Structure 1
Amino acid sequence: MAGNLTLEGMDEILDRLKELGQRAAPVENQALYAGAKIVQENAGQKAPRSLEAKEHLADNIVICEPKQDENGKYVEVGPTAPFFYGKFLEYGTSKMTARPFMGPAQAESKKQVLETIRQTLKAGLDI
């Protein structure tokens, strides 16, 4: 015994999915930047500042361009090259104890970052 199945509206669904796919990449980047901005601001508040009137590590924490690996797209947040010593503060050295600022900034911001990414994706994709 054979039966017939008729699907109506499939073309509209496929068109909508294709449209979502085309909009996804820029919205994905916007969401990553929005989440990274929260970590950047939090790290800037936690990073040590000298008493001298010069550039500070806290003012030179940047968000890198989005990258992709086998786990998906991501952005990195951290000090610019002239402030390479940030890694010594973060992890310590054999003669200096660690004074982390990036790790705590990321950990404390995690829920807010995820919510911001979710809201940005939802708004950008109209879902």
Structure 2
Amino acid sequence: MANEVKMELEGIENLIDEVEKLGKQGSKIENKALKGAGEVIKDSIVREVPVRTGKLKKSISVSGIKREGGEPYVQVGPGKDGWYGKFVEFGTVKMKAKPFMEPGYENSKDAALDTIQEELKRGLGL
């Protein structure tokens, strides 16, 4: 999708600092936390997708770990088979918008943050 949403990890900075001190092992913990949070958001988005053929719903996926400016992240949204998802989300001149990405994200962002926090604690043995 063209629009991106970034989740701020407020309140768990200390956990992130401790994980980063672990170096490579910390990166594995961090990656697992991000993938877990991405799955939480994906599941919520899938529940919001309007279904005609089911192709768009099946295309919703979580990317592998990516990095931008040294910061790891994952992307959640339609894959190649769901390329037309942006038209569903935002509408067209001839079609009313049926948002599924934004409501899916909004409904799951707190649970995703909880997942990140739980995975970081588990990785630190807390």
- Unaligned ranges ≥5, structure 1: 1-15
CA distance in 2, matches of 1:59, 1:83: 8
- Cα RMSD (Å): 2.2
The structural deviation recorded for 1:17 is 8.6
Corresponding residue of 2:45: 43
For 1:69 and 1:34, locate their aligned partners in 2 and report how far apart those are by CA, in whole Å. 19
**CA offsets, 1:45-82, max 9 Å, x none?**
110112x5xx5211221111111112721100111112
| Whole-angstrom distance in 2 between the partners of 1:38 and 1:85 | 23
What does the per-residue CA deviation read over 1:14-60, in whole Å, with 9 as the maximum and x for residues that have no partner?
xx99972231111111000100101111111110112x5xx521122
TM-score by length of 2: 0.77
- CA contact 1:38–1:113 (8 Å) conserved in 2: yes
Helix, strand or coil at the partner of 1:31: helix
- The CA distance in 2 between the partners of 1:110 and 1:18, in whole Å, is 23
Amino acid at match of 1:76: Q
Show structure 1 runs of 4+ deviating over 4 A.
Answer: 16-19
| Number of matched pairs | 109
Alignment of 1:1-127 (within 5 A): 20-50=22-52, 55-70=54-69, 72-127=71-126
Paired AA for residue 59 in structure 2:
N
What letter is aligned with 1:47? V
**Structure with larger Rg:** 1
TM, length-normalised to structure 1 = 0.77
Q: CA deviation at 1:105?
A: 0.6
Deviation, structure 1 residue 95: 2.0
Q: Which amino acid aligns with 1:27?
A: I
